[in-house]
Amino acid sequence: MTRFTVAIDGPAAAGKGTISKAVAAHFGFAHLDTGLLYRAVGAKVLAGGDPVQAAKALTPKDLEGDLRTPEVAQAASRVAVLPDVRAALVTFQRDFAVRDGGAVLDGRDIGTVICPDAQAKLFVTASAEVRAERRYLELADKGLDVTREDVLADVIERDKRDSDRAEAPLKPADDAITIDTSEMSIDQAVAKAVAVIEACR
C-alpha cells in the first residue's frame, strides 16, 4: 500500500470539506476534517470543560452530534489559539496522514504545520461574501435561525482570529496551489482539485 497525503487548507466555508470528501472518494483515500477536532474541544468548553484537558481526552464519541453551529465554530476558533490545545491534537492528525492507502486532511495548518511533507497541498478560498452566503444557505437549510449579516460577521471574525494567531496561523504553505472557488460550481472545484493532485502523483 502506498502513502500519499493531500493537505487542504483555507478560510471558513471555502468548500474544503466538500472538495476533500470528493477527492478522497475519487482516489480511494481516507478523509479527516480536522476542524471537527477543534469544534469538539470548543463544544466541551461551552459545556464548562477545560480546553487543554478536553483536547487531551478527545474520543471518537466527542466528534458525534451537531458540532456545525456558529456558536461551536466560534468556540473552536477561540480554543484553536491555545498552543497546548493544538499540541494535544498533533499526533492523531499526523498518524492519520501517513496511514496506508492515502489520506486527505482539511483544516487551517495542514500544509504548513501538520503535514509539511504532504505530496499535494491545496489552499481553497473564495471571497468572504460568497463563503458567507454558502454557509448561510447551509445553516438556514438545517433550520437554524441565522441572518446573512450574522453569518458574514462570524466568518470574518473567525478568519481574522485564525490568521492573526501566533501558533499555526491560517495561511497558504509556500508550495500550496490556491484554488479560488468564488466563481466555481462544486463540480468545477472538485475537477480542479483532482487535476492538481494528479499532477503531484
Residues that bind ligand CDP (CB under 6 A): 10, 12-18, 34-35, 38-39, 73, 76-77, 80, 107-109, 134-135, 138, 158, 162, 181, 184-186, 189
Q: How far is the CB of 154 from ligand CDP (least distance, A)?
A: 9
Q: Give the residue with the Cβ less far from ligand CDP, 4 or 190.
A: 190
Q: For residue 18, say whether it is annotated as part of any ligand binding site.
A: yes
Partners of 6 in the β-ladder? 104, 120
Q: Give the residue with the Cβ less far from ligand CDP, 27 or 72.
A: 72
Q: How far is CA 110 from the centre of its chain?
A: 9
What strand order describes the sheet that includes 5-9? 30-33, 103-107, 5-9, 120-125, 177-180
DSSP helix/strand/coil, 49:
coil
Residue with cell 478560498: 125
Q: For residue 160, say whether it is annotated as part of any ligand binding site.
A: no
Identify residue 139 by its one-letter amino acid code.
L
Q: For residue 107, say whether it is annotated as part of any ligand binding site.
A: no
Q: For residue 30, say whether it is annotated as part of any ligand binding site.
A: no
Q: Give the residue with the Cβ less far from ligand CDP, 102 or 181.
A: 181
Q: Give the residue with the Cβ less far from ligand CDP, 15 or 102.
A: 15
- Kindly provide the residue ranges of all beta strands, DSSP E only, lying in 74-172, ordered along the sequence: 103-107, 120-125
> What cell does 188 get?
468545477
Binding residue numbers for ATP: 10-18
Binding residue numbers: 10-18
